Amino acid sequence: MIPVTKPYLPSREKLDRYIDGIYERAWLTNNGELVQELTKRLEAYLGVENLLLVANGTLALQIAYRALGISGRTEPTEAITTPFTFVATASSLKWEGVEPIFTDIDPDTWCLDPALIENAITPHTRAIVPVHVFGNACEVEAIDLVAQKHNLKVIYDASHAFGVNYKGESLLKRGDAATLSFHATKLFHTGEGGAIIFKRKEDLERAKKMINFGITGPETIEELGINAKMNELQAAMGLCVLDEIEDNLQARADVWHRYEQSLPKNLQLQAKPQYLDYNYAYFPVVFESEEQTVLIAEQLKEQSVLTRRYFYPSLESVAFLGAQAEQPVSKNIASRILCLPIYSGCDTQYVLSKIMELL
pLDDT at 184: 97
In this structure, what are the phi and psi dihedrals at residue 72, rounded to the nearest 5 degrees?
A: 85, 15
In the 8-state DSSP scheme, what is residue 131? Answer: B
Torsion angles phi and psi, residue 219, rounded to 5? -130, 25
* Residue 113, pLDDT score: 98
Does residue 293 sit in the same domain as residue 207?
Answer: no
pLDDT value of position 67? 98
Containing H/E element for 143?
Answer: helix 140-150
Q: Are strands 78-81 and 125-129 parallel, antiparallel or unpaired?
A: parallel
CB 90 within 8 A of CB 65: no
SS3 assignment, position 219: coil
Residue 178 β-bridge partners: 156, 197
* Whether 126 and 262 share a structural domain: no
Q: Give yes or no: residues 249 and 234 share one domain.
A: no
Instruction: Say how many C-beta atoms besides its own lie within 10 A of residue 40's C-beta.
Output: 10
Is residue 162 within 8 Å of residue 36, measured between CB atoms?
A: no
6 falls within a domain: no
pLDDT at 10: 97
What pLDDT sits at residue 60?
98
Backbone phi, psi, residue 12, to 5°: -65, -35
Residues 158 and 23 in one domain: yes
The CA distance from 346 to 5, in Å, is 9
Does residue 3 lie within any of the structural domains? no
Q: Report the 10 Å Cβ neighbour count for 357.
A: 10
Q: Determine the 3-state secondary structure of 267 from DSSP.
A: coil
Q: Which of 188, 215, 242 is the last residue of a domain?
A: 242
Q: Are residues 225 and 119 in the same domain?
A: yes
**26 and 143 in one domain?**
yes
Please check whether residue 198 is in contact with residue 207, taking contact to mean a CB–CB distance below 8 angstroms. yes
Structural domains counted in the chain:
2
DSSP state of 218: T
pLDDT at 323: 80
Expressed as residue numbers, the domain containing 45 is 12-102+111-242
Query: In this structure, is residue 165 part of a structural domain?
Result: yes
Q: How far is CA 280 from CA 8, 48, 57, 257, 299, in A?
A: 14, 20, 19, 9, 25
Is residue 29 one of the residues assigned to a domain? yes
Is residue 275 situated within a structural domain? yes
CATH of the domain at 73: 3.40.640.10
3-state helix, strand, coil in the chain (%, to 5): 40, 15, 40
The Cα 16–Cα 342 span in angstroms is 27
CATH number at residue 340: 3.90.1150.10
Bridge-based pairing state of the strands 177-181 and 337-339: unpaired
Q: Let me know if residue 7 belongs to a domain.
A: no
- Indicate if 86 and 66 belong to the same structural domain: yes
The per-residue pLDDT for range 173-210, each reduced to its tens digit, is: 999 999 999 999 999 999 999 999 999 999 999 999 99
Within a domain: 50: yes
pLDDT at position 50, please? 98
Q: What is the pLDDT of residue 108?
A: 98
Residues of the chain with pLDDT under 50: none
- 275 lies in the same domain as 208: no
Task: Verify that 135 and 41 share a domain, yes or no.
Answer: yes
Mark whether 209 and 289 lie in a shared domain. Answer: no
Given 242, 265, 297, which residue is the final one in a domain? 242
- Last residue of a domain, which of 242, 271, 300? 242
Q: Same structural domain for residues 78 and 127?
A: yes
Please answer whether residues 174 and 219 qualify as being in contact, where contact means their C-beta atoms are separated by less than 8 angstroms.
no
149 shares its domain with 279: no
Residue 1 lies in a domain: no
- What DSSP letter does each residue of 223-259 carry, written as one string? S---B-PPPHHHHHHHHHHHHTHHHHHHHHHHHHHHH
C-alpha separations of 358 from 2, 300, 306 in Å: 17, 8, 14
